A and B are shown apart, each in its own frame.
Chain A
């Protein structure tokens, strides 16, 4: 045995800790408290049970045992200002050395004294709300993806999503959002279930032909996930009720079948700054885009005016492949979840064109129109009278019947 190996085997835990601490940067809780507002990234390296008993405000949980495999996902930027902490400041010291020496993070510090000293100094501690045992099991496949995890699941449970229409697009969207644990689902639809709906509207059933779609949808949603609160609006949306209905929702899913309502929804959602996940379908073709007011274009930036009624493909009964609203509705559900949890690249400023027959997706860019009659103005400048108005509105509706 060589001398150095002999020394290494004799190194005590305490000596190793001293050596590690001399190799990393430490930071005092008082400085961390001041940095909180400046957007420093806090990482709690304790176990998830310890994290659940309370943590620093805004801290991310990366247990030390998962550090190497998960940190990339949560903090991809190697130059980010990172502060690690644990219970007393020892485990975070080891973790800091790993991030610095093995993974190349340039600005890593370990908080001295850990959360124990932090609490002694009287700084704020955030208590995470916990999921029930049943919820942990129901959403376990979400909890296993770091991009969602407990935090993301909690956001989903807190979210309120409004579905315009419980038809072709609304059916799959509602089912999957309910399954995903979106806490509140509003459904606007004044139709009854019809036999001809069942070729694609999978939230309804043969037994429920003739009953209101909102009731039928609620039954399926509750059968799938009783956690979800359903708010029913068995009305036709128009200029007199739209603001009242959509206010307070986090995301709106647009699956409406006519242009006047699409423009109305666009204008009202811009005014209230609510993102709209929009899709439309015809035959074998689907379109999808996310309209996030003031961050990306709105529907009027994409199409300033609807086509005249005789050319409007929405008027009258049109054929559609039954699977297509499923495909497009689930793309919508995916975008909704991304917006709520705050992950990925939502389709803002992009229009996806899906051609089912060719099995191709084409993407075109949609830019904000600096002369857009709606979103080029401040939300408070958009008056009630303007919502959903476009040239020849009256003629359009008359012709469309």
Chain B
């Protein structure tokens, strides 16, 4: 769902010391992702999950979760396609 906002890429590189910084970096480079990721008050939207490797960052330290080189963030918006 976010792919269209990053020019169709499946994986993009980002930099930062924690999850929040990496996502901010993504939003800066691909402004179309900004409103999808963040709510007006700068928090991660409730309908978007971010996983550091395979763990939900909300059960870690949220946007403050530290990241290191080579870590993979999976950004997962809710989707409901199915029956029709």
With A and B bound together, what is the CA distance between A320 and B82 in angstroms?
A: 10
Question: What's the nearest-Cβ distance from chain A to residue B19, in Å?
Answer: 14
Taking a contact as CB atoms closer than 8 A, the residue among A191, A281, A304, A365 that contacts B82 in the complex is A281
B51 nearest CB neighbor, chain A only? A364
Q: Which of B56, B76, B83 contacts A189 (CB 8 A)?
A: B83
Instruction: Point out the residues of chain B lying under 8 angstroms from A51, CB to CB.
Output: none
Set of chain B residues within 8 Å of A69, measured between Cβ atoms: none
- 17 A-B residue pairs with Cβ-Cβ distance under 8 Å, sorted by A, are A165-B83, A167-B84, A197-B84, A254-B82, A255-B82, A255-B83, A257-B84, A287-B79, A303-B49, A306-B78, A311-B77, A313-B79, A314-B79, A314-B81, A364-B74, A365-B54, A366-B56
- Complex: how many Å from CA A160 to CA B81? 25
A307-B47, A358-B10 given; A367·B81 CB < 8 A: no
B1 within 8 Å of A (CB atoms): yes
Contact of B81 among A164, A313, A364 (CB under 8 A): A313
Within 8 A of B (CB), among A1-45: none
**Bound-state Cα–Cα, A189 to B84, Å:** 10
Find out whether the CB atom of A313 lies under 8 angstroms from the CB atom of B83: no
Chain A proximity mask over B45-83: 1 for CB below 8 Å, otherwise 0: 111110100111001000000000000001011111111
Binding site for A on B (CB under 8 A): 1, 10, 35-36, 45-49, 51, 54-56, 59, 74, 76-84
CA distance A167 to B83 in the complex (A): 4
Contact partners of A320 in chain B: CB under 8 A? 81
Pair A259/B80 contact, Cβ less than 8 Å: yes
User: B47, B54, B59, B84: which has the most chain A beta carbons within 10 Å?
Assistant: B84
Q: Which residues does chain B contribute within 8 Å of A395, judged by CB atoms?
A: none
Are A306 and B84 also in contact (CB < 8 A) when A311-B36, A366-B56 are?
no
With A313-B1, A364-B56, A365-B56: A305-B80 Cβ-Cβ less than 8 Å: no
CB of B31 to closest CB in A, whole Å: 15
A residues less than 8 Å from B81 (CB atoms): 257, 280-282, 313-314, 318, 320
**Is A256 on the interface with B (CB-CB < 8 A)?**
yes
Determine if A169 and B56 form an interchain contact, defined as CB atoms under 8 angstroms apart.
no
Given A189-B83, A256-B83, 17 further pairs, Cβ under 8 A: A165-B82, A167-B82, A168-B83, A255-B82, A282-B1, A282-B79, A282-B81, A303-B78, A306-B80, A307-B45, A313-B79, A313-B80, A325-B82, A363-B54, A364-B51, A364-B54, A365-B55
Instruction: Say yes or no: is A100 at the interface (Cβ < 8 Å to chain B).
Output: no
Instruction: Give B59's nearest chain A residue, CB to CB.
Output: A367
Looking at the assembled complex, report how far the CB atom of B84 sits from the nearest CB atom of chain A, in whole angstroms: 5
